[in-house]
Amino acid sequence: MTRFRAAIFDFGGVLTTSPVQSMRAFCESNAVPWEAVGPLLGSHEGACSRFETSAISQEEFVVAFEQECAAAGHQIDGARFLSGFFGGMQLRNEMIAIVRRLREHMKVGCITNNVQAGTRERLIAFEELFDAVIESSRVGMRKPDPRIYLLACEQLGVKPEEAIFLDDFGVNLKAARALGMATIKVDHTDSAIRELEQLLGLQLTATLETDAGAGDHPERP
């Protein structure tokens, strides 16, 4: 019998396509090297981190992010960058279906680095799928801060070693592993689903197409 009692999912990049695709596309279309912008988005002290923990408003983020890019030698329209980011993420219905299936067997949670505007609207439609949803914009901390994983486990009523965490960023997975959680890296393939099935000893994809077709209308099983 599996030791796992909960599965915890990232939202952007796991239940949706990767936001990095949208950000890279923006940089490419504006002749700005991704290598210059990517580190700014990952900085724990940068504008993105402060925006995702609601320390600054959207308007303040735009100004601060443009200043950070300028300091790195590049001019970026922060408002257009956000618009492209919010609009580029598409739902992955096969992963939504997996969440539904898992709820028949265990607790299911979500940890997401998000902002009050844009990405949060997408998440609201799917909150009913989860037993706990931890949003950086609401709790004032973001992955990979260990506290955000512990908060998710606390709300799900499990120990870290009883949880599986799925994310598309290695740095977020590393922090979860350090707490004792099992981790699965999600990419654009179905490998994460297969790995999840192996860890749990469950077949989650038997009627995946049927479940996925209902992915835009979440409901409790």
SS3 209: helix
| Average pLDDT of the chain to the nearest whole number | 87
For 51, the domain range is 19-87
Q: What total number of domains does the chain contain? A: 2
Task: Tell me the percentage of the chain whose pLDDT exceeds 90.
Answer: 65
Question: Which pLDDT belongs to residue 212?
Answer: 44
> Does residue 156 form part of some domain?
yes
Q: Look up residue 115 and give its two tokens.
A: 């902002």
Look-up of token digits 């004792």: 180
Pseudo-torsion of CA 111, 114, 119, 121, nearest 10°? 70
Phi/psi-derived region of residue 64, left when phi > 0, alpha when psi is between -120 and 50, beta in every other case: alpha
Q: Write the CATH number for 61.
A: 1.10.150
Rounded to an integer, the average pLDDT of 80-95 is: 82
Q: What is the pLDDT of residue 127?
A: 81
**Could you tell me if 121 and 25 lie in one domain?**
no
Q: What is the pLDDT of residue 17?
A: 87
Token pair belonging to 120: 């949060």
Both 35 and 134 in a single domain? Answer: no
For 161-220, the pLDDT digits (tens) are 999 999 999 999 999 999 999 999 999 889 999 999 999 999 988 655 544 444 444 433
Same domain? For 172 and 94 the reply is yes
| CATH label of the domain that carries residue 107 | 3.40.50.1000
Under a CB-based contact definition with an 8 Å cutoff, are residues 144 and 174 in contact?
A: yes
Last residue of a domain, one of 37, 52, 87: 87
Same domain, 94 and 23: no
Q: What is the pLDDT of residues 118-161, one digit of tens each?
A: 555 666 667 889 999 999 999 999 999 999 999 999 999 999 99
Look at residue 1 in the predicted model and tell me its pLDDT: 58
Query: Could you say which of 34, 68, 87 is where a domain stops?
Result: 87
In a domain, 219, yes or no: no
| Residue 131 is assigned to a structural domain of this protein | yes
In the predicted structure, residue 52 carries a pLDDT above the cut 90: yes
Instruction: With CA atoms as reference, report the closest residue to 126 among 208, 14, 4.
Output: 14
Does the pLDDT value for residue 106 go beyond 80?
A: yes
Q: Is the pLDDT at 56 greater than 90, yes or no?
A: yes
**Is residue 218 included in any domain, yes or no?**
no
Residues 33 and 54 placed together within one structural domain of the fold: yes
- The answer to whether residue 1 sits within a structural domain is no
184 and 202 both lie in a single domain? yes
Residue 131 has a CB neighbour count (10 Å cut-off) of: 16
Asked whether residue 168 falls in the same domain as residue 63, the answer is no
**Residue 78: is its pLDDT beyond 60?**
yes
Q: 79 and 96: one domain? A: no
